[in-house]
Amino acid sequence: MLQTMRDKITGGFAAVFLGAIGVVFVFWGIDFQSRGDSFAAEVNGEPIQIDTVRRAWQQQQQRLLQFMPDIPDDLVKSQQRSVMEAFVRRKLLTQRARKLGYSVSDAELIRELRERPEFQEDGKFSVTRYKLLLQQNNLIESQYEADLTSDMLVEQVQNTVLETSFIVPYELERRFALEKQQREVDYVLIAASSFNDKVEVTEQLVQKYYDGHKSEFEIPETVDLEYLELTRAAAQASVNVTEDALKEYYNQVKDRFTTSERRRGRQILLTLEEGADEAAVKKKAEELLVKAKAPGADFAALAKANSTDPGTAETSGEVDWQTRDGSVPEFSEAFFSMAKDEVRGPVKTQFGYHIIKLEAVDSGTIRSFEDVRAELEPEFRRERSDAAFYEETQQLADKAFKALTELNSVAQELKLEVRKATGVTRQNAAALGNDPAVIEAAFSEDVLERGQNSQLVPIGEDRALVLRVAARTPASMKPLTEVRADIEAKVRSEQARAAAAKQGAEVLAKLKAGTSLPSVAGEFSLTPAGKRWITREDAIAPPKVLTAAFEAPAQVSEAKPFYGSTATDDGNFAVFGVSQVQPGDPSSETEPQRAARRDNTVRTFGNFEFGAYYSEAEANAKIRRNDDKVFQ
């Protein structure tokens, strides 16, 4: 991809940009080679590298930590599975796409890259922004290209499935009748809180809850850290830019401020068609050269009358402004060695014989040091500060490695302050910005178990640190005496909900025996909501009641209603009845509404079909996952 980007994206300044990207990758220690059989998963024999999945998980973990400092274990495991499955899915679907003959050309890949809004500034592709985003996400360019290509292949397959989905008019009307169906519903709510004073919370129940929910009362293992930190801002403040150094830098990058020589002229091209008499074509070219060199000759008219290439003839042989690399070598060598108004030929190329006239020369320009100084200085300062930051981090990493188990000597030698972060857990390192890389380093075997200094830990693109564990507190359980009040409240709530559900079962039994809902409600001192027509989108009933009511059988009547029950989201219990069902009327829908719904339905069907397609592919694939190795 480095060469691809150099050749296709930005031309002249690509080498400078790519060189800078390379420095960043080396600085952050990104591994360009896989380590033996170290893979996160294997799909039909193709590995998914463990570092790739682990890096994606760290980024996801960091996003989660922004919203919840203590992530529940079940959510952690769920998110880890999602990250792993995303990579497996991409690999499997990419394999399927290639097997089906789908492909992504270099031109398509480059166009996609340049058109992505995240890489644009003011509507145009920005090298600076591209570079910044790669750095922020610790992405290797070749890996980004491979991932983007895979995504484009998967999109081709998905679009093929989606574009072949359809729905017949009858099915569309049937779905409308169901989606817009109305049901006449009545219900009673049994509040769990009404049983709070009626349930007994025994010592046995408290102890049972405590023993059965140990993870709820666990105090996680914590570590207190010592660390040494470097920042890019501090490195930048130490940079001293002299005039001589700035001029030297200008000389190094002068080509960026230089426009190449350009030339414009005309040509007479006699093409060599297959089977043509080359000697005759060359002889005619020599005759035309004599005419073109004659005093007062009209070269444009000769070109229009004699060029056998239609494009050349139509423009009277015009050769627009071009640089030395703008044409085939034989033509350019002649064109850029001619004097103004000179006529030369015949020049043979792969296209035929050319008679060339040079009409104008633009020698190119170079912007002076004084002209570019203002834009060059901040760039130079950034480069120097990047180099200084890199050098400082290498020193820190090297000296921390040699110190092995302490940081005081390193701090003294590098004139840094030993800082502290206390109470760091495997899910929470708020004192250090909750960066997953910090947590991973702090709880690595070398640091946690062996007491060694960590390797260099990058935090974003502007900070880096090394750390060690100064103190470790193992995981423990909160004593029962400390959490008793909370447990009693939870047990009481559970008992109350169970009592509400029990009463709900009694109410439901009486309704099914033939007693009307108002009568049963009065017997249990409950208040009916009152019969009303509701739709699937209404918010006038609790969501669980709404869902259960529309899952009930549609074959009902006021004489034979359907009765059911459900727990509600807030812990209460509901008993409901459905007495009438009215299907939606398709004729009430306008044509634009019907068209929009048709499109949405087709997309939904397409997504279902694509899901089935993937499930079939997954069922027939050989997939191995190393979750324990990735998320250790």
Per-residue pLDDT of 472-482, as tens digits, reads 999 999 999 99
Same structural domain, 160 and 92: yes
pTM for this structure?
0.51
Same structural domain, 142 and 191: no
Q: What long-range pairs does 486-489 form, CB within 8 A, spacing at least 24?
A: 487/206, 487/209, 487/210, 488/201, 488/206
Backbone conformation region of residue 451, classed left if phi is above 0, alpha if psi is from -120 to 50, else beta: left
For residue 109, count other CB atoms closer than 10 A to its CB.
Answer: 17
Same structural domain, 310 and 390: no
Q: Which pLDDT score is estimated for 597?
A: 82
Read off the pLDDT of each residue in 219-232 and give the average, rounded to a whole number: 94
Q: Domain containing 52: what range? A: 2-165+621-630
Side-chain-side CA neighbours of 452 within 13 Å: the count stands at 15
Same structural domain, 203 and 346: no
Compute the distance between CA of residue 4 and CA of residue 14 in angstroms, rounded to an integer.
Answer: 10
Question: Between 127-136 and 14-27, two packed helices, what is the crossing angle to 10 degrees?
Answer: 10
In order, the DSSP letters of 187-256 are EEEE-GGGGTTTS---HHHHHHHHHHTGGGGEE--EEEEEEEEEEHHHHHHT----HHHHHHHHHHSGGG
Q: Which pLDDT score is estimated for 21?
A: 28
**What is the per-residue pLDDT across 608-630, written as a single tens digit (0 to 9) for each?**
888 898 999 999 999 999 888 88
Greatest pairwise CA separation for the chain in angstroms: 121
- Coil/strand/helix, residue 272: coil
Note whether 468 and 451 are within 8 A (CB). yes
Same structural domain, 138 and 233: no
Lateral strand order in the sheet of 532-534:
532-534, 182-190, 573-582, 562-567
Residue 597 within a domain: no
Q: Which pLDDT score is estimated for 372?
A: 85
Residues of the chain with pLDDT > 70: what percent?
Answer: 94
Nearest to 183 by CA among 601, 564, 512: 564
Residue 170 within a domain: no
Residue 288, pLDDT above cutoff 60: yes
Residue 412, pLDDT above cutoff 90: yes
**What is the per-residue pLDDT across 604-613, written as a single tens digit (0 to 9) for each?**
888 888 889 8
Name the domain count of the chain.
4
Residue 7, pLDDT above cutoff 50: no
- Coil/strand/helix, residue 433: coil
Residue 150, pLDDT above cutoff 80: yes
Q: Which pLDDT score is estimated for 459?
A: 87
**In the structure, what pLDDT confidence band is assigned to residue 298 with cuts at 50, 70 and 90?**
very high
Residue 615 within a domain: no
What's the sign of the alpha-carbon dihedral 81, 84, 89, 95?
negative
Note whether 133 and 21 are within 8 A (CB). no
Q: Phi and psi (nearest 5°) for 607?
A: -65, -40
Same structural domain, 123 and 199: no
Same structural domain, 521 and 564: yes
Q: What's the mean per-residue pLDDT of the chain?
A: 86
Extract the tokens encoding 270: 């006699």
Note whether 222 and 421 are within 8 A (CB). no
**In the structure, what pLDDT confidence band is assigned to residue 569 with cuts at 50, 70 and 90?**
very high
Read off the pLDDT of each residue in 217-230 and give the average, rounded to a whole number: 95
Between 461 and 265, residue with greater pLDDT: 265
Compute the distance between CA of residue 372 and CA of residue 165 in angstroms, rounded to an integer.
Answer: 58
DSSP 448: I
Same structural domain, 45 and 62: yes
Q: In CATH, what number is assigned to the domain containing residue 293? A: 3.10.50.40
**What is the per-residue pLDDT across 46-105, written as a single tens digit (0 to 9) for each?**
999 888 888 888 888 878 877 777 778 788 888 989 999 999 999 999 999 999 899 988
Least confident segment among 57-71, 257-271, 278-292, 395-409? 57-71
Nearest to 542 by CA among 571, 514, 563: 571
Residue 559 within a domain: yes
Same structural domain, 440 and 556: no
Residue 457 within a domain: yes
DSSP 308: S
**In the structure, what pLDDT confidence band is assigned to residue 489 with cuts at 50, 70 and 90?**
very high
For residue 453, count other CB atoms closer than 10 A to its CB.
Answer: 27
Read off the pLDDT of each residue in 391-396 and give the average, rounded to a whole number: 93
